[in-house]
Amino acid sequence: MSPWEIVAVILALAYLVLAMKEKNSCWYAAFISTAIYLFLFWDVSLLMESALQVFYLVMAVYGWWQWRHHADKQQNLTIHCWPLKTHLLVIASVGLLTLIFGYGLAQKTHAALPYLDSFTTWGAVITTYMVTRKVLENWIYWIVIDAASVYLYIDRGLYLTALLFMLYVVLVIIGFYQWNTLYKQERHEHVNH
């Protein structure tokens, strides 16, 4: 456990708590935490997780812009759901990408746990996008991805990060219920107008 891992974990927690509250400042914490994790994951041979951090950096800026852009126009980006067909397509795509990239990593690199690393990475890619667009089901996806990540980080000796992801599993369940309540309120208000 390094001091950098401690800082990254604290900022990652701050991101999640602020995102649960729909605070635009969550994206600042995400950006800094992500920059630190980019190097930490590379150092322990989690190549896909390291690459994922580059995506997270871009998504932190995109998420910040999306949430702020709607706030500046005095219109909130509302929580919404995706249809079942979209979820089935997403799950099939993540599965296929996991197999392709996992196989490629296993054959051509020194990556640790290439299939699990690929699964958590590709799952996180789509789920992060879902957060930036305030798709309610993002929290359900995170439960699966974060739970799988716990094993990945324990295997690589990132114990504090594994603990963070155990806590994430609990927090994303709470986040789902918070957003679901807001979603129902927004729908109720929309119907009554």
Joined tokens for residue 101: 């990239």
User: Which pLDDT score, from 0 to 100, does residue 140 have?
Assistant: 97
User: 30, 67 in Cβ contact below 8 A?
Assistant: no
How confident is the model over 130-183, as pLDDT tens digits?
988 899 999 999 999 999 999 999 998 889 889 989 999 999 999 999 999 999
pLDDT > 90: what percent of the chain?
Answer: 63
What are the phi and psi torsion angles at 135 (to 5°)? Answer: -85, 120
Phi, psi of 192 (to 5 degrees): -85, 0
Q: What is the CA radius of gyration of the chain?
A: 17
- Average pLDDT across each block of 10 residues of the chain; the chain has 193 residues. List them in order: 89 92 91 94 85 91 84 69 97 97 91 91 93 93 96 90 93 94 85 70
What pLDDT score does 72 carry?
56
- State residue 167's pLDDT score: 94
List the one residue out of 21, 20, 15 whose CA is nearest residue 37: 15
Using CB atoms within 10 A of its CB, is residue 179 exposed (0-12), middle (13-18) or buried (19+)? Answer: buried
pTM across the whole model: 0.81
Quote the pLDDT of residue 138.
96
Count CB-CB contacts under 10 A for residue 141: 22
Q: Which of 75, 3, 68 is nearest to 36 (CA)?
A: 3
